[in-house]
Amino acid sequence: MVKICCIGAGYVGGPTMAVIALKCPSIEVAVVDISKPRIAAWNSDQLPIYEPGLDAVVKECRGRNLFFSTDVEKHVFEADIVFVSVNTPTKTQGLGAGKAADLTYWESAARMIADVSKSDKIVVEKSTVPVKTAEAIEKILTHNSKGIKFQILSNPEFLAEGTAIEDLFKPDRVLIGGRETPEGQKALQTLKEVYAHWVPEERILTTNLWSAELSKLAANAFLAQRISSVNAMSALCEATGANIQQVSFAVGTDTRIGPKFLNASVGFGGSCFQKDILNLVYICECNGLPEVAEYWKQVIKINDYQKSRFVNRVVSSMFNTVSSKKVAILGFAFKKDTGDTRETPAIDVCKGLLGDKANLSIYDPQVTEDQIQRDLSMNKFDWDHPIHLQPTSPSTVKKVSVVWDAYEATKDAHGICILTEWDEFKTLDYQRIYENMQKPAFVFDGRNIVDADKLRDIGFIVYSIGKPLDAWLKDMPAVVA
């Protein structure tokens, strides 16, 4: 029986391995992690991450050919194929701080693999890593190998949170990169056979190692660029009276462009886009390509601009100050159908409003108070490190309350900011909300999900990203200082 071990039981390792176990009953899959609470949760009825369809897959395979364990060394020792799916945060200190990928977790996993292995293994990069990481990993493994042979493959993951199981069942493509040597090609074939249990052959793409590594960074950069492009247009729409939804639709009907990923919003978030672009920028700079680096940097700059533009709109509309005013925040996760808050635009918007001394009342159906407080007191990039390494400064969060109901959050508020597109925000009783708010009552829709005309009829002053502005807002242009 082929044995697979995956190091890292996170958003990628957990769902990916669960689906491999489901589709390949003849393969034994062990998912290991140094985090005891995470593994305990994977072995319980309350899985550590929320993904539609994940519970059913785990229930079917767990204990059959899918195992979650903290005994990292034992499972690596026994495995034929070792996936590494540990976190690869942005460096916070030293050379390349704020841009380069921090490969500490990866390197320690590689050293451990070399230490405990007594038989030849295929080591698969599942984490998103800088181009040429495989070369570094290869060196660590071969210099510590005691005669054991390791083959490195790059097999980046393209799943999206919120639709992970669907994406894994029917991937647009599976990408595997390997060395162009006979041994490299043999390893590549072995991994291909695993995916071939359920993925059609023509969707399994094989490349050299560096193309596979770079394709993942490139794909995320292209996706983020699309969002920044539409967000840049949204600013121009507001200035000219055009409507971003009409513009997006018109643009997206061109088959060369396509309709997906063209929604204007308060900005992109999630653990990957910003980190991967920063990483790409750093690689460009290191390779003497400053013009290319500048080009991609702009995608992040527009994303930051969009968030501060939003904060500016809120503050300038509300008589140029939100000091001591209650502002309701509806939605904190970086998108709907996930509880993930990594790099969520809500963090920057809330910090911006707190900077102007607002009192925030936050409601999100999937995010806990503890998580929100931690996010708002954390420094940039600290979130991707273990909790004990994350500093806290409770003073900033005194002006924040987290409630479990949208009506409670909006009671006596001066304004509402909608920051996540949860379906339930579309159907709230806005008449009731209006009656319980201070007047004039404002709604700032950062996701374009409410019916602005209906809300205006009720009496709200409404700001919808990229849509023609209310007369009230027109006189107060949101110019970012």
Catalytic residue (one of 272, 284, 350, 417):
272
Question: Which is nearest to 338 in space by CA: 222, 220, 164, 465?
Answer: 164
Question: Which is nearest to 334 in space by CA: 406, 397, 274?
Answer: 274
| Rounded CA separation 128/114 (Å) | 21
> Is 72 or 134 the residue whose CB approaches ligand NAI more closely?
72
> Is 88 or 410 the residue whose CB approaches ligand NAI more closely?
88
Q: Which stretch binds ligand NAI (CB under 6 A): 22-30, 103-111, 299-307, 327-335?
A: 103-111
- Fill in the per-residue mask, 6 to 35: x = in contact with ligand NAI (CB under 6 A), - = not in contact: -xxxxxxx-------------------xxx
Active site residue 6: no
Q: Which stretch binds ligand NAI (CB under 6 A): 1-9, 59-67, 237-245, 407-415?
A: 1-9
| Rounded CA separation 427/157 (Å) | 35
Question: Which is nearest to 384 in space by CA: 280, 271, 267?
Answer: 271
Residue pointed to by tokens 């503050």: 315
Is-contact 458 416, C-beta < 8 A?
Answer: no
Query: To the nearest whole angstrom, how small is the minimum distance from the Cβ of residue 112 to ligand NAI?
Result: 6
- Please pick, from the candidates 17, 61, 66, 87, the single residue that binds ligand NAI as defined by CB under 6 A: 87
Is-contact 131 152, C-beta < 8 A?
Answer: no
85: which 2 tokens? Answer: 């799916």
Looking only at residues 121 through 140 of this chain, which bind ligand NAI when binding is defined by CB under 6 A? 127-128
Report the DSSP beta bridge partners of residue 418. Answer: 330, 445
Is-contact 330 418, C-beta < 8 A?
Answer: yes
Q: Which stretch binds ligand NAI (CB under 6 A): 84-92, 233-241, 281-289, 361-369?
A: 84-92
Is-contact 435 210, C-beta < 8 A?
Answer: no
Query: To the nearest whole angstrom, how small is the minimum distance from the Cβ of residue 109 to ligand NAI?
Result: 4
Residue pointed to by tokens 């070369």: 135
Query: To the nearest whole angstrom, how small is the minimum distance from the Cβ of residue 38 to ligand NAI?
Result: 5
> Is 127 or 448 the residue whose CB approaches ligand NAI more closely?
127
| Rounded CA separation 88/103 (Å) | 6
Question: Which is nearest to 190 in space by CA: 226, 218, 155, 221?
Answer: 155
Does 159 bind ligand NAI (CB under 6 A)? Our answer is yes
Angle at 406 (CA atoms; ends 46, 311), nearest 5 degrees? 105
Does 152 bind ligand NAI (CB under 6 A)? Our answer is no
Query: To the nearest whole angstrom, how small is the minimum distance from the Cβ of residue 91 to ligand NAI?
Result: 14
Does 165 bind ligand NAI (CB under 6 A)? Our answer is no
- Fill in the per-residue mask, 40 to 79: x = in contact with ligand NAI (CB under 6 A), - = not in contact: --------------------------------x-------
Q: Which residues bind ligand NAI (CB under 6 A)?
A: 7-13, 33-35, 38, 72, 85-88, 105, 108-109, 127-128, 157, 159, 161, 271-272
**Catalytic residue list:** 272
